[in-house]
Structure 1
Amino acid sequence: MKLNAAGATLVSAALAVAFAVCSLATPASAGSLTTSTGQQLPAYLQGYRQGQLLCPGAALTGKVSVAIVDPMMATTDAPGDCTLSDMKAANPGTTFLAYLNIGAMRDFESWNGVFQNSCADTATDAGKQFGVTTSNSRVARNEDGQASYPGFSYLTVADLSPAYADACAATAHTLLSTDAQRGTTNAAPARFDGIFLDDASMSPSHGQDMVDVGQWGPWPDDDAYGRALIAAVQRFDATLTRTMGRDVPVAVNLGVYPAWSNQVTLARTLAATRSVDFALREHVVATGTGRPLPAIDLDQASAAYQTITAAGMPVVEHDYSVPLRELPTTAYRQGNDIGTSAPCLRDGFGSRSSVVAAAKTRRTLDHRMTLGHLLQTRTSSALRMTATLSQAEPTCQDNAWDDDANFETVTTASVSSTDAQVTALTTAVTSGAYATAAPLKFAGVTVVRLSNGKVVAVNTTTITRSVTAYGRTLSVPARSATIG
């Protein structure tokens, strides 16, 4: 991604405009973005049909600054679905990025036409050529004998070669150059604005790190894999810019272990290429099932994200909302791991209403913690950081092809924006507030004064605590945050 004179890429500028974080200009060749109104955060709507949350009249319409959605949202794959054309008409201030996996490949799905989420089609020899073979028996492999991810045999690890990067850029070019299908509102044809690259990891990760399983593939060690990934992203961006004849927004789902200095250094190297507009970081304060990350992990993550953002690649912090499962309401208390052994919440579950109420409360408090952590991490030198809207993974949600037995639909917003503290914390995030000093620490609670004069406290314990600092007394629920 080429920089303009102000040093900002298109999506960095989109973030700056939409979140009022800083006043950076967009490249002249890229045109201008519509300024978002109200409190706008980006959203990672990765699940099948989750993009429908941006359909006309849907829960998130008009509330999202940057939307990451599957390319299938440009099709009428599911009966009655609106398409990207409808979404863009209903969300004129939103930048839409098409999901594309650069670290792993899969078979193309014929019903999606050109709107595929894999750089290469592993159902063909042309796609299989970019797979990786190995004699290391500890590496997971698919039925074709090529390296895969444990538990995800439909994914084939890509070799990250220059030819593969070019193939990936060609797929992206097609995505960006093709009009979405007509949807339910017959809106004018529209196209994706940019690309989001998943599995942009600084090591193979997913249980395949060479430090754990031994050497495999064309890379001598994990760091070499990271360097190959960086080169692939840089070539992808340069090729896409050349073939499109303009700057194109490119973001990544950054895989990095914040506690490992070598990985943070690699991420800073990626930032220095200026090929990436922002990096999404999943699981900032908790895992997808709600298992809390320890305070030391939060501190390590803060330090890593500050240095990566300061190096020129803004970090967008992201956590998943806990899933709805058939568990006692006490299981949804702050700090508990919801787990995956209990069945997904079904329509007929006897105590469904009380479980949903407990989960909604938990999700709101979790989201507050994510926003509070972001505000305590963001500094004057690492200002272009933000957080996403929290949305549940689709595992326990209905979609168009399910039997409709799960209680929660994939088009339900996970967190209500009407909670007073969510609103106040979001306002601080979107207005560009940042920490003015290192956090004060009080028995598991960290407190920071922000540049706007507000005070934000983050509670990493599993009980509610009250703290007094900077002339304010704040009550902070377990595993949550409060601003005042």
Structure 2
Amino acid sequence: MTPKAVGATLVSVALAALIAVCSSAAPGNAASLTTSSGQQLPAYLQGYRQGQLLCPGAALTGKVSVAIVDPMMATTDAPGDCTLSDMKAANPRTRFLAYLNIGAMRDAETWNGVFRNSCADTATAAGKRFAVTTPNPKVARNEDGFATYPGFSYLTVADLSPAYADACAATARTILTTDAQRGTTNAPPARFDGIFLDDASMSPSHGQDMVDVGQWGPWASDDAYGRALIAAVQRFDATLTRTMGRDVPVAVNLGVYPAWSNQVDLARQLAGTRSVDFALREHVVADGTGRPAPLVDLEQATAAYRAITAAGMPVVEHDYSVPLRELPTTAYRQGSDVGSSAPCLRDGYGSRAAVVTAGTVRRTLDHRMTLGHLLQTRTAAARTMTATLSQAEPTCQDNAWDDDAYLETVTTASTDAADAQVAALTQAVTSGAYAAAGPLRFTGVNVVKLSNGSVVAVNTTNATRSVTAYGKTLSVPARSATIR
């Protein structure tokens, strides 16, 4: 297979802190692609219509290096929606990757046309042939009897066969070679730059791991599933390269348990194929509800992501912002579970202003912690890691077709990039700084000196801490990070 020289260059140029994946790339060159502010991070905007944040004049326009969006952004859905053509015209230096799920399939939405987010359409016989059946009663199945994920019956687990990988590559090629629909600004036609593969997991995961439910499907074990996934991604990339006549940027949403050495080893094998330009890793410092990750999880993630990145597949750390829930402001103190079953914040809720204020503060502190953790995780050998702009999980956001009762719209940006500490941490990330000394460990606070001379402290406790290290004193809010 052709080395990913072109794709790696595109993505590393766009990801301001990422270096080309090719072994010949010189460290640090990637920091040159920036906006006038000199700071850009990638953004994961796959949620329904969240790509509208990159429309002309929208909150994230001109602020994103790489945007992962649903292929439907190339079409018009809700009245007044801009399309990929408008977005690319408004964000000329942003690389747009189309979301495509490789681990699971679903029925295609007919109004999307060719811009679907499933490798195969399970509404057709051609798609159903890649579905998995099993007699194991512990495995979740949909009404057609195909294996699915618990709680996600609309997803059908794919068999990861060579034929499926080829079908996936064919779907990707169609997306990449089709012009987006005309949008709202009469911008010239545009196309996606690359592909983002979701559910690229090193085991079935999603409650379907064989270590928990027993053997099922065409794989003998969880590790066998991981190896099949690696082979599918590698074949997908090779087929796409051949049929497109050029190397295309390919990224994955990496499913890996950092505490399990066998999973990390599989991820390193995926890195060694050089089929992937970067791997998104969700839920680094907090889960999807905002509950903070324990310190041991942070330490395990640090070791795993360093190893995976050093093997040639940069990890992009991603956390969803704390969702705005109909809860009193005290529920947003870090250390408390936001609670995924809590009702969403409604427009008519009397204390909504206080909750929004608390949520805004918490989101800023959380994003600081993600960036601080990243800077402490990077080393000279793993300096190509970066992080995304934090964005809200869209479950409790308005979209074009609901009852418009939720306070927060799907196009509301979650991160205040103007915050001084967010800006300083982001600048350190996009400039390629990495841990050069430390960590020094205080009570719940890790302090690291960076390669640029700055000092970054990450506070994992639920109280503000003040520490002095490397000649600097830093005050670090609870569950957050500070750089000086």
- How high is the TM-score relative to the length of structure 2? 0.96
C-alpha contact 2:14 2:94 (8 A) present in aligned 1: no
1-structure distance, mates of 2:142, 2:31: 43
Q: 1:277 to 1:236 in 2, by over 3 A?
A: same
C-alpha contact 1:2 1:9 (8 A) present in aligned 2: no
The residue that corresponds to 1:348 in the other structure is: 348
The residue that corresponds to 1:259 in the other structure is: 259
The residue that corresponds to 1:298 in the other structure is: 298
Kindly provide the CA deviation profile for residues 306-351 of structure 1, in whole angstroms up to 9, marking residues without a partner as x.
0100000000000000111110000111222111222111111001
The residue that corresponds to 1:57 in the other structure is: 57
The residue that corresponds to 1:14 in the other structure is: 11
Kindly provide the CA deviation profile for residues 123-172 of structure 1, in whole angstroms up to 9, marking residues without a partner as x.
11110110000000000000000000000000000000000000000000
Q: 1:16 to 1:307 in 2, by over 3 A?
A: farther
C-alpha contact 2:16 2:32 (8 A) present in aligned 1: no
**Code of the aligned partner of 1:214:** G
Structure 1 residue 17, shift from structure 2 partner: 5.5
**Code of the aligned partner of 1:231:** A
Give the secondary-structure state (helix, strand or coil) at the position aligned to 1:19.
coil
2-structure distance, mates of 1:402, 1:286: 28
2-structure distance, mates of 1:397, 1:56: 21
C-alpha contact 1:446 1:459 (8 A) present in aligned 2: yes
Q: Between Structure 1 and Structure 2, how many residues are aligned?
A: 478
Q: 1:475 to 1:267 in 2, by over 3 A?
A: same
2-structure distance, mates of 1:130, 1:415: 40
2:217 corresponds to 1:220: no
Quote the RMSD (CA, aligned, Å).
1.8
2-structure distance, mates of 1:429, 1:9: 23
1-structure distance, mates of 2:473, 2:374: 21
Structure 1 residue 304, shift from structure 2 partner: 0.4
Q: Write the mapping of 1:465-484 to structure 2, written as runs, cut at 5 A.
A: 465-484=465-484
C-alpha contact 1:252 1:280 (8 A) present in aligned 2: yes
Structure 1 residue 11, shift from structure 2 partner: 4.1
The residue that corresponds to 1:36 in the other structure is: 34
Q: 1:12 to 1:270 in 2, by over 3 A?
A: farther
The residue that corresponds to 2:440 in the other structure is: 440
Q: 1:444 to 1:16 in 2, by over 3 A?
A: farther
The residue that corresponds to 1:132 in the other structure is: 132
2-structure distance, mates of 1:155, 1:294: 30
**Code of the aligned partner of 1:384:** T
Q: Write the mapping of 1:1-400 to structure 2, written as runs, cut at 5 A.
A: 2-3=2-3, 8=5, 10-11=7-8, 13-16=10-13, 18-20=15-17, 22=19, 35-37=33-35, 38-400=38-400
Give the secondary-structure state (helix, strand or coil) at the position aligned to 2:248.
coil
2-structure distance, mates of 1:74, 1:83: 5
C-alpha contact 2:321 2:392 (8 A) present in aligned 1: yes
C-alpha contact 2:391 2:415 (8 A) present in aligned 1: yes
C-alpha contact 1:100 1:197 (8 A) present in aligned 2: yes
2-structure distance, mates of 1:361, 1:33: 29
2-structure distance, mates of 1:20, 1:447: 21
Give the secondary-structure state (helix, strand or coil) at the position aligned to 1:407.
coil
C-alpha contact 1:12 1:277 (8 A) present in aligned 2: no
Q: 1:475 to 1:193 in 2, by over 3 A?
A: same
**Code of the aligned partner of 1:107:** D
Structure 1 residue 3, shift from structure 2 partner: 2.7
Structure 1 residue 415, shift from structure 2 partner: 1.0
**Code of the aligned partner of 1:284:** V
Kindly provide the CA deviation profile for residues 21-43 of structure 1, in whole angstroms up to 9, marking residues without a partner as x.
5588999xxxx999332210000
Identity of aligned residues (%): 81
**Code of the aligned partner of 2:402:** D
Structure 1 residue 20, shift from structure 2 partner: 5.0
2-structure distance, mates of 1:352, 1:454: 38
**Code of the aligned partner of 1:422:** V
Structure 1 residue 290, shift from structure 2 partner: 1.0
C-alpha contact 2:17 2:384 (8 A) present in aligned 1: no
C-alpha contact 1:85 1:187 (8 A) present in aligned 2: yes
Q: 1:58 to 1:65 in 2, by over 3 A?
A: same
**Code of the aligned partner of 1:216:** W
C-alpha contact 2:11 2:20 (8 A) present in aligned 1: no
Kindly provide the CA deviation profile for residues 198-229 of structure 1, in whole angstroms up to 9, marking residues without a partner as x.
00000000000000000000000000000000
Q: 1:23 to 1:157 in 2, by over 3 A?
A: closer
2-structure distance, mates of 1:414, 1:20: 21
Q: 1:304 to 1:468 in 2, by over 3 A?
A: same
**Code of the aligned partner of 1:91:** N
Give the secondary-structure state (helix, strand or coil) at the position aligned to 2:262.
helix
**Code of the aligned partner of 2:114:** V
Structure 1 residue 463, shift from structure 2 partner: 0.8
Give the secondary-structure state (helix, strand or coil) at the position aligned to 2:225.
helix
C-alpha contact 1:13 1:25 (8 A) present in aligned 2: no
**Code of the aligned partner of 1:316:** V
1-structure distance, mates of 2:429, 2:163: 41
Q: 1:74 to 1:13 in 2, by over 3 A?
A: closer
C-alpha contact 1:10 1:248 (8 A) present in aligned 2: yes
Give the secondary-structure state (helix, strand or coil) at the position aligned to 1:398.
coil
2-structure distance, mates of 1:102, 1:405: 34
Q: Which runs of 5+ in 2 are unaligned?
A: 25-29
Give the secondary-structure state (helix, strand or coil) at the position aligned to 2:65.
strand
- How high is the TM-score relative to the length of structure 1? 0.96
C-alpha contact 1:36 1:94 (8 A) present in aligned 2: no
C-alpha contact 1:34 1:92 (8 A) present in aligned 2: no
Kindly provide the CA deviation profile for residues 75-97 of structure 1, in whole angstroms up to 9, marking residues without a partner as x.
01111100000000000000000
**Code of the aligned partner of 2:327:** L
Give the secondary-structure state (helix, strand or coil) at the position aligned to 1:408.
coil
Q: Which runs of 5+ in 1 are unaligned?
A: none
C-alpha contact 1:15 1:65 (8 A) present in aligned 2: no
**Code of the aligned partner of 1:259:** A
C-alpha contact 1:290 1:335 (8 A) present in aligned 2: no
